[in-house]
A and B are shown apart, each in its own frame.
Chain A
């Protein structure tokens, strides 16, 4: 499946990345994919928690040094 949107929040600090992701996901259609990359130390756990809360599916998590790249799918239930 194609990633619809991609954002990079590298260098931004909590809760900046979270706010950015929340904003992006609202623009997506249900089921569409978003890739987000960040390096805030709490980036990964914050985004994963956000997905649990909103029923978004985490498709993939990749780590390259400090940078973490997460692909998530917008929840089909809204």
Chain B
């Protein structure tokens, strides 16, 4: 209790004693004297009230009020019921005196008890001496009962609670005079209580605002874009974390600086300094976007391509009070864009290359075919033999290249069927490693899940990787190939889905790939080889991606490279795999109809097949083929086999020709032939009514094998 207040109280007590004294000794007091005394007493109450008013903490105010009231009316106990916001309950928010502890946390409905009556009626209540007893139907006070004195506390907007004295100290009853004093006191302190309440609410609002501010600041700082705000003078107020990173200036250094000095932007091409965007926003009051090709130069000189925009910050009255600048680093995006551009260019190049490759392929048919024929007619001891072999080898390389180009130019989706990678891998490796000094070891589980692949394309993938591995080990060595089932792709690499995958690992022990090159190896035309095309890995990547797969590369320190391929696995049961038995070309016997629009192809086929002993008729179009086939059948010398080119410009292609022939002669055996090894018909020839498929350019061995097999069926 502060000293001042104590003094006031002492004075009150003194006055009270005097008052009592007057009452006892003087039955009559002069009205003037009584008035003077009362005034003095009231003045003291006012002073105590002032001490209460200067306090702002609500609970402290209430405690102080209860204590003071108890002293003023000399009560055993004083409690302070306060109404809740809905005004349907009251709670004892403070209590002093005897049994005060029992009141803690008690809450009652507004219609309960004497307090309830006072709060409802907003009237004081004296349960005591002879005074008028307001609750009429209830019995009035009698000597021996506890007396009670209650007054309402009224705020600016009505009742807020009450003051309740329970039991007069030393027994007996509260008096009307007590009632007057307590009412005066209540009137004074209710404002203090209300103020403290408001103050507390305000504090809560302020702390909410502060929390909100904190949250906004955190949000702003963690936003993914750079954000800088500036005041009307163009000076930096706030700069978030990303902006700190991009500009190289910290919030501390930047605050208060003119924007110009921390946000240094130039035109990428002219390298001329750009106009200060904040100044532009402030002068125009409009949102602005930044010109393309803007380079932000950081404090340390780092240059970044950025995209940004500026906007005015307005207050409630819509006056411009500053500007906010939002920007982001698009250097990466730009890189990707140029990457995409490269791919697009490549695609159009692919279309072009494909066109050329197609013709080129037909020419190769002639060259390879004639070479095969020439060597077949020559004894291996002949001087010309090795020369022709060299020419054949070179032609085969050219054929490989054309095949890459064709895959590329087709660009389309792979034609998939259920297959096992085991076969694809073994076949491709055997093919590539023939006659090489490199060996291959396999670790492939027997139960490797099947995959849905275009086997032609996937063979190319494996071949490309194995060829690169061979190139990496010019002295020879071992390539390790391992496969595994992966139940959940995501566990292995974040780019994969949750689904199961088949993992294929191809490892060589070559020189490895320099770290600065490893990002480039999939780029088209990137090669470190004298005779390289730089297309192998590009095609590989494109095929794997088109199969919804993923390819990764790792170069090992001690030398060696690992390529890893992930392909979506099919984990349902595979229908019994079909494998084609190899047939060796024997002395041919039978009549074959060859349909191709290119003369060189027809000539080569004719040469190869007659060389093998078959009887050949060749035609240039599908219509002719149908005609010849039917005629021969009618004449009793039917064809045993038809080889039909799939693409005939401006005429009936192989598929239509086959359908037409089958219409009248469903038993006819027809082989599809095409320069596009990944033509969907080639991959799935049976579905289109063919008994076999043979890729152009023909190699004698291959052509004869297919022909012999189909003839035998």
Give the contact stretch, choosing among A10-18, A27-35, A54-62, A70-78: A10-18
Most chain B C-beta atoms within 10 Å of own C-beta, residue among A23, A39, A41, A46? A41
Q: Does B106 contact A (CB under 8 A)?
A: yes
Q: Does A19 contact B (CB under 8 A)?
A: yes
B114/A14 in contact, CB under 8 A: yes
Q: Does A42 contact B (CB under 8 A)?
A: yes
Report Cα–Cα, A27/B114, bound state, in Å: 26
B106/A15 in contact, CB under 8 A: yes
Q: Does A5 contact B (CB under 8 A)?
A: no
A15/B108 in contact, CB under 8 A: yes
Residue from the list B99, B112, B144 in contact with A49, Cβ < 8 A: B112
- In chain B between 121 and 177, which residues have their CB closer than 8 angstroms to a CB of chain A? 127, 135, 138-140, 142, 144-148, 166-167
Q: Does B649 contact A (CB under 8 A)?
A: no
Q: Does B102 contact A (CB under 8 A)?
A: yes
Would A11 and B145 be within 8 Å (CB), given that A19-B103, A41-B127, A42-B138 are in contact?
yes
Q: Does B32 contact A (CB under 8 A)?
A: no
Q: Does B435 contact A (CB under 8 A)?
A: no
Chain B nearest CB from A27 CB (Å) reads: 15
B112/A46 in contact, CB under 8 A: yes
Report Cα–Cα, A46/B108, bound state, in Å: 10
A13/B115 in contact, CB under 8 A: no
Inter-chain contacts of A66 with B (CB < 8 A) = 139, 142
Given contacts A39-B145, A41-B139, A49-B112, 9 further A-B contacts (CB under 8 A): A13-B145, A13-B147, A15-B106, A18-B112, A23-B102, A41-B138, A41-B140, A42-B135, A46-B112
Would A14 and B138 be within 8 Å (CB), given that A19-B102, A19-B103, A19-B106 are in contact?
no
Q: Does B113 contact A (CB under 8 A)?
A: yes
Report Cα–Cα, A15/B111, bound state, in Å: 13
Inter-chain contacts of A46 with B (CB < 8 A) = 112-113
B144/A11 in contact, CB under 8 A: yes
* Tally of contacts, chain A with chain B, CB under 8 A: 56
Q: Does B426 contact A (CB under 8 A)?
A: no
Chain A nearest CB from B127 CB (Å) reads: 7
Chain B nearest CB from A65 CB (Å) reads: 9
User: Can you list 13 contacts pairing A with B, beta carbon distance less than 8 Å?
Assistant: A11-B145, A11-B146, A13-B147, A13-B148, A14-B115, A15-B115, A16-B146, A18-B108, A39-B139, A41-B138, A42-B117, A46-B113, A66-B142
In the complex, residue of chain A having the shortest beta-carbon distance to the beta carbon of B167: A13
Report Cα–Cα, A50/B116, bound state, in Å: 14
Q: Does B14 contact A (CB under 8 A)?
A: no
A13/B166 in contact, CB under 8 A: yes
Report Cα–Cα, A53/B111, bound state, in Å: 13
Binary contact readout B239-275 vs A (1 if CB under 8 angstroms, 0 otherwise): 0000000000000000000000000000000000000
Inter-chain contacts of A40 with B (CB < 8 A) = 145-146
B103/A42 in contact, CB under 8 A: no
Report Cα–Cα, A42/B116, bound state, in Å: 11
Q: Does B23 contact A (CB under 8 A)?
A: no
Report Cα–Cα, A14/B139, bound state, in Å: 14
Report Cα–Cα, A41/B127, bound state, in Å: 9
- In chain B between 172 and 230, which residues have their CB closer than 8 angstroms to a CB of chain A? none
Chain B nearest CB from A12 CB (Å) reads: 6
Would A13 and B142 be within 8 Å (CB), given that A19-B103, A19-B106, A46-B112 are in contact?
no
Report Cα–Cα, A41/B137, bound state, in Å: 9
In the complex, residue of chain B having the shortest beta-carbon distance to the beta carbon of A41: B138
Report Cα–Cα, A13/B113, bound state, in Å: 10
In the complex, residue of chain B having the shortest beta-carbon distance to the beta carbon of A19: B102
A13/B127 in contact, CB under 8 A: yes
Inter-chain contacts of A53 with B (CB < 8 A) = 109
Chain A nearest CB from B33 CB (Å) reads: 35
Inter-chain contacts of B147 with A (CB < 8 A) = 13
Inter-chain contacts of A41 with B (CB < 8 A) = 127, 135, 138-140
Inter-chain contacts of A12 with B (CB < 8 A) = 146
Most chain A C-beta atoms within 10 Å of own C-beta, residue among B111, B113, B147? B113
Chain B nearest CB from A62 CB (Å) reads: 16
Inter-chain contacts of A50 with B (CB < 8 A) = 112
Inter-chain contacts of B145 with A (CB < 8 A) = 11, 13, 39-40
B113/A14 in contact, CB under 8 A: yes
Report Cα–Cα, A40/B560, bound state, in Å: 100
In the complex, residue of chain A having the shortest beta-carbon distance to the beta carbon of B79: A15
Inter-chain contacts of A16 with B (CB < 8 A) = 99, 146, 166
Report Cα–Cα, A13/B141, bound state, in Å: 10
In the complex, residue of chain B having the shortest beta-carbon distance to the beta carbon of A10: B145
In the complex, residue of chain A having the shortest beta-carbon distance to the beta carbon of B144: A11
- In chain A between 1 and 25, which residues have their CB closer than 8 angstroms to a CB of chain B? 11-16, 18-19, 23
In the complex, residue of chain B having the shortest beta-carbon distance to the beta carbon of A39: B145
Inter-chain contacts of B109 with A (CB < 8 A) = 49, 53
Report Cα–Cα, A12/B106, bound state, in Å: 18
Binary contact readout B617-658 vs A (1 if CB under 8 angstroms, 0 otherwise): 000000000000000000000000000000000000000000
